[in-house]
Structure 1
Amino acid sequence: MAEGGETASRVRLITVDDNHDGQRLDNYLLGQLKGVPRSWVYRVLRRGEVRVNKGRCKPARRLQAGDVVRIPPLRVSEKDAEEAPKGLQHNIEESIIYEDNLILIVNKPGGVAVHGGSGVSHGVIEALRASRPNAPFLELAHRLDRETSGCLMLAKKRSALRSLQELQLAGKIEKRYLALLSGRIRKGRWRADAPLKKNTLKSGERVVRVDPEGKQAISNFEVLQRFEKETLVSVELETGRTHQIRVHAADNGTPILGDPKYGDEEANRVMKEMGLRRLFLHAASLRFDWPEPGNRFQVEAPLPTELQAVLDKLAGSI
């Protein structure tokens, strides 16, 4: 053990196998260095301490089977190197709603990040890797905001990850969300197609705005249940932009309740008194053809009890 409560290691040379062919270098390192802070991984990449076939390379480089990756000696504190807490591991394992030899789907709890970073040490992927130390491959197939609950897909093989990514790029994965919006909405269905653009404030906070120069974004809303001053809607996405549903809902004048970034402060305060402690956005279902056309795959994630309790209170107050 190094001085100051640090652990150190030697240079490692790892040959990339077929299971990791085509994977980004940064994601490969994060998978190999379980429990190591993401900041350390990107720092050694910037410094050129990670080499592929003896050459410097960028984080986005796609690896090929047979490549030799040089990983520099680790020197991180024991605290930083700790694996995901056992409680989080158990919670995520208990949240799995579908698993086969290719894919795994978690009903992600609200408030749990999909991966560590930005002040969060561990997320879903770190918890699963820690609880399954002998798993040869495990990668996120997409993302959900930290406060959003529901269906989160992971791939257990490189081939499965590629297939899922191709399906998403082609718009062939039907993603349906449930959201509770501020306001009593009359119309049954509407299509939001305002283009969205990411912005970074002086504080460093990332926000997304409607902007004519932004990327195309399409969300299809449908009213499911109306309350006195709130409306439960179903949302199906045709695109998958950052904060898409949250920004489209706010642009409509009916922000998602419990949303601290794009929501209505007074409405959020009232709903907090009703028991809503988080963003009311839930990835309710996924539908797609898998693994070949004609084999229809569908999975649904039950609404979390804390969100269902809010709906029950609203229904009882009408």
Structure 2
Amino acid sequence: MTDQRKFIYTSAGAKKTRLDVFLSEQLPDISRSRIQKLIQCGGVLVNEHTPSVHQFLKDGDVVMTLPTQSPRSGKFPKQERKATFALDIVAHTDDYLIINKPAGLLVHPTASPDTRERTLVDMLLAYDASLGKIGEDPGRPTLVHRLDRDVSGIMIIPRTFAMFEYLKREFKLRRIEKRYTALVYGVMTKDEGEIDFVISRAATGGKMAARPKSQDGKSALTTYKVRERYRAATLVDVQIHTGRTHQIRAHLLAISHPVVGDILYMPKKKPAFTAPFLMLHAEHLGFSDLQNEWKNYSVEPPKEFFDFLKQCS
């Protein structure tokens, strides 16, 4: 791991010096090859821009190394998968559970031929076997919505068939309030905004693509408000008014502010820094219960999320 450090290049009448050579002189404890990989990984800025490995420096150039993971592979670090998870129950009622899903936990089994891993569904059935009788799909019992594997945060789990049917209808009618917290690349100029690109499956890469409404795709609406601006990133509150696959991630990439740490929805030009996990958290759910009382539930992002924010300030 490298720390954030700043250097100002002065030629002192010497010939032009390459960036990697200059950093090797300033950081004698790090090998030249490792420095080159650090540059390739986006861990170095020159005058706040991403340089090439062999860029020549001129007098007054400001060179900054950013906090990054070890660049041994020359690639961004893979997001770690935790082997074990605990079921974090935020609220327990006769009609539903409110849970806090950790990042890295798969919500339900997939069709992948890989070794079967423990999912949120498995944990729910171990907690209450009767949940297996609720729903329409035996492989995904009691689920009325989901979060991507790498997204942490709040979910509602119906405990009765009546609640299952009710929540399914409420989600379909877009009456349930869903808010997220995200750290995105770049400094947003607007305090709030709306993204209404349609979403469809991309031709390659196994991901979704956000496109102008004049093109084919499913309608999608995302709104956001800036919570805090940092030197090279922005913390935003995001609300989705539809529930398309990877909606937030695809929409934010489409406006050139992808989520920090998102390996799948990364811009073509590698960002100057990254996080070892996806900086996206489902923070709030609001809905009317079966008694027509409005309920609000919120869970803060995990400690690691706040720890990374401190590095950005």
Verify: 1:168 aligned to 2:168, yes or no.
no
Deviation at 1:112, TM superposition (A): 0.6
Which aligned pairs between 1:202-241 and structure 2 lie closer than 5 A? Answer: 205-210=206-211, 212-241=215-244
Q: Aligned ranges for residues 1-318 of structure 1 at < 5 Å?
A: 88=84, 91-93=85-87, 95-117=88-110, 118=112, 119=114, 120-133=116-129, 137=134, 139-199=142-202, 201=204, 205-210=206-211, 212-264=215-267, 270-271=273-274, 276-293=275-292, 295-315=293-313
| Uncovered stretches (5+) of structure 1, i.e. residues with no partner | 1-86
CA contact (8 A) 2:197 2:210 kept: no
1:259–1:268 Cα contact (<8 Å) kept: no
1:92 aligned counterpart, secondary structure: coil
Q: Which protein is richer in helix relative to its size?
A: 1
Matching residue's letter, 2:300 = P
TM-score between both structures, scaled by the size of structure 1: 0.64
Counterpart-to-counterpart distance in 1, 2:123 and 2:196:
36
Residues 106 and 159 (structure 1 numbering): CA distance in 2 closer, same or farther, change over 3 Å? Answer: same
State how far apart, in whole Å, the 2-side matches of 1:249 and 1:206 are: 14
Consecutive aligned runs of 4 or more in structure 1 exceeding 6 Å deviation:
none
Q: CA RMSD in A?
A: 2.0
Percent identity over paired residues? 28
**Structure 1 counterpart of 2:282, which letter?**
A
Distance 2:90 2:271 in 1: 30
Q: Could you tell me how far 1:96 is from its partner in structure 2?
A: 1.2
Contact 1:114–1:144 (Cα < 8 Å) also in 2: yes
Which structure would you say has the larger Rg? Answer: 2
Aligned length: 219
Offset, 1:92:
3.3
Q: Is the 8 A contact 1:92 1:106 kept in 2?
A: no
* Letter matched to residue 297 of structure 2: V
For the Cα contact (< 8 Å) 2:208–2:250, is it kept in 1? no
The CA distance in 2 between the partners of 1:269 and 1:128, in whole Å, is: 40
Contact 2:222 2:248 in 1 (8 A): yes
Q: Which residue of 2 aligns with 1:77?
A: none
CA apart distance, 1:286: 0.3
Deviation at 1:207, TM superposition (A): 3.4
CA displacement at 1:266 relative to structure 2: 6.5
Q: SS of the counterpart of 1:247? A: helix
Counterparts of 2:211 and 2:299 in 1: how far apart (Å)?
30
Tell me, in whole angstroms, the C-alpha distance in 2 between the residues paired with 1:200 and 1:107. Answer: 33
TM-score if structure 2 supplies the norm length? 0.65
Q: Which structure has more RCO (C-alpha within 8 Å, separation ≥ 6)?
A: 2
Does structure 2 retain, via aligned residues, the 8 Å contact 1:110–1:148? Answer: yes
Q: Offset of 1:291 from its aligned partner?
A: 1.7
- Asked whether the equivalents of residues 174 and 286 of structure 1 are also in contact (C-alpha less than 8 Å), the reply is yes
Residue 130 of structure 1 deviates from its aligned partner by 2.2
Unaligned runs of 5+ residues in structure 2 are 1-82, 135-140
